[in-house]
Amino acid sequence: MHLSKAVVPTEHASRYLQQLCKHWSHKFSVEFDPQKGRVPFSDTAEVTFAADDAALTMTLSVADPSQQERMQQVIDDHLKRFAFREELDIVWTD
C-alpha cells in the first residue's frame, strides 16, 4: 500500500472528522468516534482520520499510486465544503 498524510491545522477537527464520516457512511462501511475515523472507499483505498484540539490528521492508503492524487482531491473537496467558514491549509506528503 502507498501512504500519504496531511495534518490540517484547525480547532474544529473533531467536527469535520464526524461530518466526513457521516457523509460517506451512506456508501461505505465507515467506523468513527469523535477522535478517530476510518472510511474504506474500496478494497484498495481507505482514509483514516485522527482529531485533536489543534489539527485533523488524514492518512490515505492506496494500493495503486495512480489513485493517490484523485483520492486526495476528493477528500480535500469534501473537507473544504464542510469547512467553508475557514481557510484550511491541506498539504499531503508521502
Which CATH number fits the domain that encloses residue 28? 3.30.310.50
21 part of a folded domain: yes
Band (1; pLDDT cuts 50, 70, 90): confident
Give the span between the Cα atoms of 3 and 12, in whole angstroms: 24
71 contacts 62 by C-beta, under 8 angstroms = yes
pLDDT of 28:
96
Give the span between the Cα atoms of 30 and 55, in whole angstroms: 21
Residues 30-60: tens digit of each pLDDT: 999 999 999 999 999 999 999 999 999 999 9
91 part of a folded domain: no
44 part of a folded domain: yes
19 part of a folded domain: yes
Task: Kindly list the distances between the CA atom of residue 65 and the CA atoms of 7, 39, 62, in Å, as whole numbers in the listed order.
Answer: 20, 18, 6
53 part of a folded domain: yes
Residue 44 belongs to domain spanning:
2-85
Number of domains in the chain: 1
- Neighbouring CB atoms inside 10 A of 27's CB total 9
26 part of a folded domain: yes
Pairing mode of beta strands 2-9, 31-32: unpaired
